Chains A and B, each alone.
Chain A
Amino acid sequence: MTLIILLGGFAAGLLGALTGLGGGMIIVPLLSIGLGVNLRYAIGASLISIIATSSGAAAAYVREGFTNIRIGMFLEIATTIGALIGAFIAGLVSTTFIALVFAAVLTYSAYLSLRPRVEHVSVADSHSWSRALRLDGTYPTPEGEQAYGVQRVGTGFSLMLVAGTLSGLLGIGSGAVKVLAMDQAMRLPFKVSTTTSNFMIGVTAAASAGVYLRRGYIDPGLSFPVVLGVLAGSFVGSRLLTRAHPRRLRQIFAVVVLLLALEMVYKALTGSL
């Protein structure tokens, strides 16, 4: 059993790193649908493993200068409050309800991963909050340091509250909602939004993981193979990334995620979850 979980975690970590969409959306359905693990334990183990992958990836990105620590820290107020709300809701509702919300988020993520991402970078006329909070920054490009401004800070902050709530309820990184907030609303460059979102996932997941741990949702015998497997998988995945085809992988990811969503709805409605 432990070996199967370890391999499953490895596969989830690998796919998460290669598609850049995070392992949580794979690991929770894998454990619950695939291996018959109770959804609450599955979410607990997933939260722990996304802290691990986020910390590993963030350590590299922060040093390379892509991550905007100020934006991250400011938005973490929203994601951590959201995470506590999500963890609180998780304790009140049935696993059927959680599974249905999960399926909806999976479907939405599949849709987002197929749509082309449009980059809007703004240099001038930042939002007034951005100036007050010194959110504007620069990031390295092949042509040297590139400056960028930040728009609609309030909208971004509100969306992050939603992202945090989903993270605490479902045990995922909510990458899809974060992309919406940072690409669409705040208009950050891709490299900055992706790496800053990743940077925030660890702190967000830590907020809900604390609550999950105290509630007894985090099982050591289940969690250790999941964490170590996901960590190994994402490490290998990040090494393979230069040779992979992200577009094709995203298409595969979207199909896998849609199938998982259907299976989840079916299992939730027949009460076998």
Chain B
Amino acid sequence: MSRSWNDLDIARYVSAILRGGLLLSAVITALGGVLYLMRHSGDTVAYRTFVGEPPHLRSVVGIVQGAARGDAPAIIQFGLLLLIATPIARVALALLGFYLERDRRYVAISAVVLIILVLSLLGRV
């Protein structure tokens, strides 16, 4: 095991990425929320019956395109997407850390978790 990189380093970076991701997504979500309230506060909302979101608010590509256009619901959705991405980034970072520690078994374990997470977000279930 390498002395220059250990589990404490992984812990420090994991902590930083969780904090940073959370902060960034909270700011973007709040920003989108304020815009949403300014533009849509008069809308009647019907959450009682389930209709599902329109396609552009369901896919990563659609959300990013909508947010770039300044569409308020898409900006909120982008903030929420960053929130979902935060634990995913944490797993990717730990994978890198275990690689630097030359701990092959944990590189494999982290890779399995990472693949499951990416498939859930991008797959077609």
A-side interface residues toward B, CB under 8 Å?
1-2, 35-38, 40-41, 48, 51-52, 54-56, 58-60, 62-63, 65, 67, 69-70, 73-74, 76-77, 80-81, 83-84, 87-88, 132-134, 202-203, 205-211, 213-225, 227-228, 231
Contacts and interface: CB of A to CB of B under 8 A. Distances in A.
A210 B10 contact: no
Nearest to A232: B26
Nearest to A79: B113
A208 B120 contact: yes
Contacts of A211: 120, 125
Nearest to A132: B105
A210 B87 CA distance: 12
Given A203-B87, A210-B121, A73 B110 contact: yes
A69 B74 CA distance: 34
B9 to A, nearest CB: 11
Contacts of A74: 109
B37 interface: yes
B10 to A, nearest CB: 6
B11 to A, nearest CB: 5
Interface residues of B, number: 66
Contacts of B94: 69, 73
A219 B84 contact: no
A77 to B, nearest CB: 5
Given A36-B48, A52-B22, A59-B22, A67 B11 contact: yes
Interface of B: 7-8, 10-12, 14-16, 18-19, 21-22, 25-26, 29-30, 32-33, 36-37, 40-41, 45, 47-50, 52-55, 57-59, 72-74, 76-77, 79-81, 83-88, 90-91, 94, 103, 105-106, 109-110, 112-113, 116-117, 120-125
> Which DSSP category, helix, strand, loop or mixed, fits chain B's interface?
helix
Nearest to A74: B109
A102 B66 CA distance: 35
A231 B87 CA distance: 16
A213 B81 contact: yes
B14 A56 contact: no
Nearest to B12: A63
B45 A221 contact: yes
Given A69-B7, A214-B58, A222-B47, A55 B125 contact: no
Query: Which of B79, B109, B120 counts the most chain A CB atoms within 10 A?
Result: B120
Contacts of B16: 59
Contact of B40 (A38, A203, A205, A221): A221
A225 B45 CA distance: 14
Contacts of B53: 216-220
Contacts of A51: 83-84, 86-87
Given A73-B110, A213-B77, 9 more contacts: A2-B37, A48-B84, A70-B106, A84-B120, A88-B125, A206-B87, A220-B57, A220-B77, A221-B45
Contacts of A35: 47
Contacts of B116: 77, 80-81, 84, 207
B7 A38 contact: no
Nearest to A65: B11
A221 B73 contact: yes
Contacts of A225: 33
A164 B89 CA distance: 20
A77 B29 contact: no
A65 B6 CA distance: 13
A59 B73 CA distance: 28
A55 B33 contact: no
B93 to A, nearest CB: 11
